[in-house]
């Protein structure tokens, strides 16, 4: 098992260390972060690209990353699942920055593989407790009023392996079932208004066009609030693995409800109790009872850099911790960072957009003295909700759950710059 294997388990309880110099360091001058090399020392083996004529504009109608970035990709965990068709691949959170996830790197979760719909064949049926059942083509949907909104999309099972302790070594594996793109879509209420709701309407069934026929019940109040019938991500049409040509966007709620390859919406008066809201996507408590319809993704955060797949390359000096925070309740109000496993907290800087129910980027700059640190981040949202420790979470939820683990993550930064997934006790 290699050092970067996600299965590498680090469940030992790290001891809190006293007297962390990093804990007291003020923001130091930046000089330690720059090479300060004298230009005369430029290594002779650096290529001079000005002597080479490059490829022309006609080569690639659709661009792609540099071949030198081939290591940046989604990673799957086929060893966890029965087949690659019912499996997951993770966003490389440690290899991206800002708040927009590039379309090519959005995590995947399929229950029967990627349905390769084409847009000409696409139909969306809207029926049930409506005045006028409707079928929409893709052209119909594209012709309607639309909005552009960025939202995080997080699988309820994100961080699910961590319920029983530090399990997976790598931010991509512990937290990579989340992405955030700018969606273009029609508010679902526009479609419902077109069909006309009957007085008894209270719930919607969303059905996917894949061979899992993914079905989830959605309360009407949410449907009339901010749910989108989306067909674009970051400006272009949805990628096949994200539901091309049409998926549901349910802001702040678990990704399983964001039905992909959407083919049918039925309006009813009670939930359908489908497989994905009874035997799956429920939270088994200690006493044997299960929480159901736990849609909301609570406030959460993680330090993406440094992290086990992204060690520090310097041995001390000016250091930027980078991470993401998000909450299904609304905007992120504040993120705090600890360098000593939760004893002392400092407020991080939020940079870039801090949208409603979207990934929010934070940075914490400090002078690292080269000692071992226990790195944590803690998100607070505009509702006042504070991300709990794993211990607090287990107090109420036990360790039988798979879903909805939003506990505080701890990374142990070693003196050599390497980082491990650990638990503090």
Footprint of a second copy on residues 390-419 (CB under 8 A)?
none
Q: How far is the CB of 4 from a second copy (least distance, A)?
A: 15
State yes or no: residue 68 binds a second copy (CB under 8 A): yes
Residue 205 token pair: 């069934």
Restricted to residues 256-295, the positions that interact with a second copy (CB under 8 A) are: 261, 263
Contact by Cβ (8 Å): 105, 72 = yes
Residue 206 token pair: 């969303």
Q: How far is the CB of 285 from a second copy (least distance, A)?
A: 30
* CA–CA separation, 118 and 140 (whole Å): 15
State yes or no: residue 354 binds a second copy (CB under 8 A): no
Restricted to residues 146-175, the positions that interact with a second copy (CB under 8 A) are: 146-149
Q: How far is the CB of 17 from a second copy (least distance, A)?
A: 24
Residue 251, φ and ψ in degrees, nearest 5: -55, 130
Residue 260 token pair: 């992909």
Contact region with a second copy (CB under 8 A), list: 219-227, 242-250, 329-337, 375-383: 242-250
Q: Which of 137, 92, 87 has the alpha carbon at shortest distance from 114? A: 87
Residue 102, φ and ψ in degrees, nearest 5: -65, 145
The single residue among 28, 222, 224, 239 that binds a second copy, judged by CB under 8 A, is: 239
* CA–CA separation, 323 and 361 (whole Å): 6
State yes or no: residue 378 binds a second copy (CB under 8 A): no
Contact region with a second copy (CB under 8 A), list: 100-108, 332-340, 372-380, 387-395: 100-108
The single residue among 102, 330, 342, 398 that binds a second copy, judged by CB under 8 A, is: 102
| One character per residue 80-99, x = contact with a second copy (rule: CB under 8 A) | ---xxx-xxx-----xxxxx
The single residue among 2, 3, 37, 384 that binds a second copy, judged by CB under 8 A, is: 37
State yes or no: residue 65 binds a second copy (CB under 8 A): yes
* CA–CA separation, 210 and 241 (whole Å): 11
> Which DSSP category does 100 fall into?
P
Q: How far is the CB of 194 from a second copy (least distance, A)?
A: 5
Restricted to residues 308-347, the positions that interact with a second copy (CB under 8 A) are: 313-314, 318-320
* CA–CA separation, 207 and 115 (whole Å): 13
The single residue among 19, 44, 56, 199 that binds a second copy, judged by CB under 8 A, is: 56
Q: Which residues of 80-101 are buried (b: 16+ CB within 10 A; e: fewer)?
A: eeeeeeebbbbbbbbbbeebbb
Q: Which of 70, 92, 74 has the alpha carbon at shortest distance from 84? A: 74
Q: How far is the CB of 391 from a second copy (least distance, A)?
A: 33
State yes or no: residue 79 binds a second copy (CB under 8 A): no
């Amino acid at each position: 098992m290699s050092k970067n294997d996600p299965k590498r388990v680090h469940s030992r309880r790290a001891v809190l260390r006293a007297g962390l110099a990093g804990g007291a360091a003020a923001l130091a001058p930046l000089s330690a972060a720059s090479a300060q090399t004298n230009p005369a020392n430029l290594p002779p083996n650096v290529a001079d690209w000005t002597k080479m004529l490059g490829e022309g504009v006609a080569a690639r109608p659709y661009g792609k990353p540099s071949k030198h970035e081939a290591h940046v990709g989604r990673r799957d965990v086929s060893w966890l699942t029965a087949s690659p068709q019912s499996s997951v691949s993770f966003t490389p959170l440690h290899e991206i920055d800002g708040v927009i996830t590039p379309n090519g790197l959005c995590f995947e979760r399929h229950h029967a593989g990627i349905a390769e719909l084409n847009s000409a064949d696409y139909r969306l049926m809207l029926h049930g407790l409506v005045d006028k059942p409707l079928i929409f083509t893709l052209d119909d949907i594209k012709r309607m009023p639309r909005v552009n909104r960025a939202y995080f999309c997080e699988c309820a099972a994100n961080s699910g392996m961590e319920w029983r302790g530090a399990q997976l070594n790598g931010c991509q594996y512990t937290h990579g079932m989340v992405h955030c793109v700018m969606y273009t879509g029609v508010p679902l209420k526009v479609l419902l208004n077109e069909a006309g709701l009957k007085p008894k309407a209270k719930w919607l069934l969303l059905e996917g066009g894949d061979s899992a026929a993914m079905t989830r019940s959605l309360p009407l109040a949410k449907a009339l609030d901010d749910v989108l019938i989306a067909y674009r991500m970051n400006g272009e049409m949805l990628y096949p693995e994200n539901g091309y040509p049409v998926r549901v966007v349910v802001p702040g709620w678990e990704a399983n409800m964001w039905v992909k390859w959407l083919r049918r919406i039925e309006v009813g008066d009670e939930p359908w109790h489908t497989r994905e809201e009874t035997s799956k996507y429920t939270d088994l408590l200690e006493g044997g009872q299960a929480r159901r319809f736990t849609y909301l993704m609570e406030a959460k955060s993680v330090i993406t850099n440094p992290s086990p797949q992204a060690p520090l390359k310097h041995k001390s000096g000016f250091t930027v911790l980078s991470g993401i925070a998000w909450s299904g309740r609304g905007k992120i109000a504040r993120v705090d960072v600890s360098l000593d496993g939760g004893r002392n907290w400092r407020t991080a800087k939020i940079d870039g957009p801090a949208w409603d129910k979207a990934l929010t980027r934070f940075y914490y700059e400090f002078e690292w003295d080269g000692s071992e640190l226990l790195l944590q981040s803690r998100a607070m949202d505009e509702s006042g909700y504070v991300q709990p420790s794993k211990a607090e979470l287990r107090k109420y939820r036990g360790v039988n759950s798979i879903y909805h683990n939003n506990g505080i993550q701890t990374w142990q930064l070693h003196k050599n710059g390497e980082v491990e997934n650990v638990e503090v006790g």
